Amino acid sequence: MEVTSHEGGRQDNQSDQNRMILQGLCLARLGNVLTSEPDSDPVVITAIFIDRELMVHEYLMYQPPSEAKKVLYHEETFKRTEPMEAFNFVFRLYNLLSRVIEDNARLDQYSLSRLGELDS
């Protein structure tokens, strides 16, 4: 999650947002390398950016199996000042938390040990 740290409007400086997207895309690719078993689900990274107008930008970053080296993302925007959109965002956060808890339970020591292999 990232919040804009620059003065001015949303378009003045998006370096925080761009950096967050780049880091998320790298994590999605790394995650898929670590879970290269045939039956494993693809890794999907969720990133959230809040701009100066309190607009929430949610990014889902993933690597389609058909395009081995290409990492894509989908953006959805929520206006936190609109009650229904704010509710939808909070509901998505709740679902994300549930999924994170489930995924962490499945994280095994084998996947963690593969991180050391990538270094050499």
pLDDT digits (tens, 9 = 90+) for 53-65: 888 999 999 888 7
- Per-residue model confidence (pLDDT) at position 87: 92
Strand partners, 48: 58
Q: Provide the mean pLDDT of the chain.
A: 78
- Per-residue model confidence (pLDDT) at position 34: 77
Q: Which domain holds residue 56?
A: 2-119
Q: Which of 43-52, 66-75, 78-87 has the lowest mean pLDDT?
A: 66-75
In sequence order, what are the residues at sequence separation of 6 or more whose Cβ sits closer than 8 angstroms to the Cβ of residue 16? 2, 3, 4, 5, 6, 49
Nearest alpha-carbon partner for 29 in 63, 6, 5? 63
Kindly report whether the global pTM for this prediction surpasses the value 0.75.
no
State how many domains the chain has: 1
- Per-residue model confidence (pLDDT) at position 4: 67
